[in-house]
């Protein structure tokens, strides 16, 4: 496990960009945290770190999934409004969760049973107006290795 404190949205984006340099095809990030805790800001940093246009990254709340293309494709799920697992099944989530891109799932706790056993859990906690605790919990050897190299 690794804990970081971010004191600004820029720093949260920079943490995402730094992690992006380590990610490989098939990686899955499971994001958790309250509304406004920095999940989408972090994804903007991931996108920048993978050569995607950061301004294209929006919270996909109303469409469940957005994709961004850079060095690798980012499959960005936002499950805040997910009614049930059937919605996820209809869009063929397994193709993304087990595919060649990097998959980032906001509100991953809503589909624990669908998440790959190995993933990198990233928890966001609001500590102040812009201050955030970002906690990385590796589930699997390769994710633990990423944190050692971070």
pLDDT tens-digit profile, the chain (150 residues): 999 999 999 999 999 999 999 999 999 999 999 999 999 999 999 999 999 876 677 665 567 898 999 899 999 998 988 888 888 888 889 999 998 899 999 999 999 889 999 999 999 999 999 999 999 999 999 999 999 999
Domain ranges of the chain: 2-149
Q: Which of 103, 99, 54 is nearest to 75 (CA)?
A: 103
Give dist(CA 119, CA 127) in Å, integer.
Answer: 25
pLDDT of residue 5: 98
Upper half-sphere CA count for residue 128 (Cβ side, 13 Å): 7
Number of residues assigned to the chain: 150
pLDDT of residue 57: 76
- What is the value of pTM for the model shown? 0.92
Three-class DSSP labels, 98-144: CCCCEEEEECHHHHHHHCCCCEEEEEEEECCCCCEEEEEEEECHHHH
Rg (Cα) of the chain, in Å, rounded? 14
Q: Which CATH number fits domain 2-149: 3.40.50.300, 3.30.1540.20, 3.40.47.10, 3.40.190.10?
A: 3.40.50.300
pLDDT of residue 42: 97
- Beta-strand pair 102-106/28-33: parallel
pLDDT of residue 60: 54
Beta bridge partners of 133: 5, 125
């Amino acid at each position: 496990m690794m804990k970081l404190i971010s004191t600004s949205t820029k720093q949260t984006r920079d943490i995402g960009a730094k992690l992006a340099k380590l990610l490989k095809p098939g990686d899955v990030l499971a994001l958790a945290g309250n509304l406004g805790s920095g999940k989408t800001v972090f994804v903007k940093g991931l996108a920048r770190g993978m050569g995607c246009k950061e301004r294209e990254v929006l919270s996909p709340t109303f469409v469940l999934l957005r994709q961004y293309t850079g060095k690798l494709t980012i499959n960005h799920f936002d499950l805040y409004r997910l009614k049930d697992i059937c919605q996820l099944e209809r869009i063929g989530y397994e193709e993304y969760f087990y595919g060649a891109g990097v998959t980032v799932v906001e509100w991953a706790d809503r589909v624990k049973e669908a998440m790959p056993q190995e993933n990198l859990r990233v928890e966001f906690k609001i500590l102040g107006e812009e201050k955030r605790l970002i906690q990385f919990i590796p589930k699997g050897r390769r994710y633990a290795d990423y944190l050692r190299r971070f």
